[in-house]
Amino acid sequence: MSGNMNINLKVWRQKNGKSQGKLVDYKVENVSPDMSFLEMFDVLNDRLINEGKDEPIAFDHDCREGICGSCSMYINGRPHGPNQGVTTCQLHMRSFKDNDTIVVEPWRSAAFPVIKDLATNRSAFDRIIASGGFISINTGNAQDANSLPIPKGDADDSFAAAACIGCGACVAACKNSSAMLFVSAKVSQLALLPQGAPERATRVLNMVAQMDAEGFGSCTNTGACEAECPKQISLTNIARLNREYYKAALFSNEG
């Protein structure tokens, strides 16, 4: 078809977490601009299976509509590739040109060890949520939902923070591998809501402690996380996290 492209890929191949990895060249021909980036990988994997030489490339993906947070490719030095506010699965080949060379790597962070090829282990995020990213309410305890009016502005800001998909692009983008944007999104979501108030102090202290224990780096406010976040989670959440943290550390009885 006219308009179709040839793409030169350099893809990180790594047998497992223990072995050394390397970039391997693949040429993918006749790529339709309407194809998604992952569909190009499907085509390549199909070919690899048919040729029977190389194993297909392992990568995480699931919903392919930008919401589950599974997909995680580091494309030409940027998490989720060149477009703003877009996950890898929503990146389409029309964002590239004929004969482009594209380098694809896994997330790079000691806290996200490689499982195989482009798939990494991001369970550190789950453990951070388990340390405090919740409201302690058991099923059946709730009062009527409208008994607690919440100013629309607070609800909207809380929602904007809650839009985080936990993909880890913020960590991959950061030169320090900091998870501050991820942690601050959850802290902000709950700090902005009256329901979250009772555990406000313990939450932020515990989550930050867990974040440090997982080996994520410190935040030096470079803002790469915000720039690369597919859900455009704002840096102001980190400022809020810092305020919450200092408040809790200095004034809370629970600290």
Question: How big is the site for other proteins, counted in residues (CB under 8 A)?
Answer: 77
Give whichever of 85 and 221 is closer to other proteins, judged by the CB atom.
Answer: 85
Closer residue to other proteins (CB): 10 or 64: 64
Using the contact rule CB under 8 A, the part of the chain among 21-29, 111-119, 221-229, 234-242 near other proteins is 111-119
- Which of 94, 77, 79 has its CA nearest to residue 37? 94
Among 50, 175, 250, 251, binds other proteins (CB under 8 A): 50
**Other CB atoms within 10 Å distance of the CB of residue 216:** 26
Which helix (H) or strand (E) segment holds residue 42: the answer is: helix 37-51
The distance in angstroms from the start CA to the end CA of the chain is 64
Q: Strand (E) positions, the chain?
A: 5-14, 21-31, 74-75, 78-79, 101-105, 114-116, 119-120
- The binder of other proteins chosen from 9, 74, 80, 90 (CB under 8 A): 90
In the list 2, 20, 25, 144, the residue contacting other proteins (rule: CB under 8 A) is 144
Q: Using CB under 8 A, which residues numbered 15 to 34 contact other proteins?
A: 16, 32, 34
d(CA 133, CA 110): 22
155 Cβ contact list (under 8 Å, min separation 6): 192, 193
* Counts for the chain of helices (H) and strands (E), in that order: 8, 7
Q: Is residue 133 at the binding interface for other proteins, with CB under 8 A as the rule?
A: yes
Q: Which of 23, 135, 209, 249 binds other proteins (CB under 8 A)?
A: 135
Query: Are the C-beta atoms of residues 72 and 172 closer than 8 Å to each other?
Result: yes
Find the part of the chain contacting other proteins (CB under 8 A) among 99-107, 113-121, 169-177, 246-254. 113-121
Instruction: Give CA–CA dist 73/106, Å, rounded.
Output: 5
Binding segment for other proteins (CB under 8 A), chosen from 18-26, 89-97, 214-222, 238-246, is 89-97
What φ, ψ does residue 242 adopt, rounded to 5°? -60, -45
Cα–Cα distance measured from residue 162 to residue 182, given in angstroms and rounded to the nearest whole number? 10
Determine, following the binding rule CB under 8 A, whether residue 67 of this chain makes contact with other proteins.
yes
What tokens does 254 get?
């629970």
Does 43 participate in binding other proteins (rule CB under 8 A)?
yes
Q: Does 86 bind other proteins (CB under 8 A)?
A: yes
**Of these, 24, 130, 239, 249, which contacts other proteins (CB under 8 A)?**
130
Q: Is 8 in the site for other proteins (CB under 8 A)?
A: no
**Judging by DSSP bridges, how do beta strands 101-105 and 74-75 pair with one another?**
antiparallel
* Minimal distance, residue 253 CB to other proteins, in Å: 22
Using the rule CB under 8 A, is 44 a contact of other proteins?
Answer: no
Q: Which is nearer to other proteins, 24 or 137 (CB)?
A: 137
- Rule CB under 8 A: say whether 14 interacts with other proteins: no
Residues within window 197-236 making contact with other proteins, judged by CB under 8 A: none
Token pair 């392992």 is found at 58
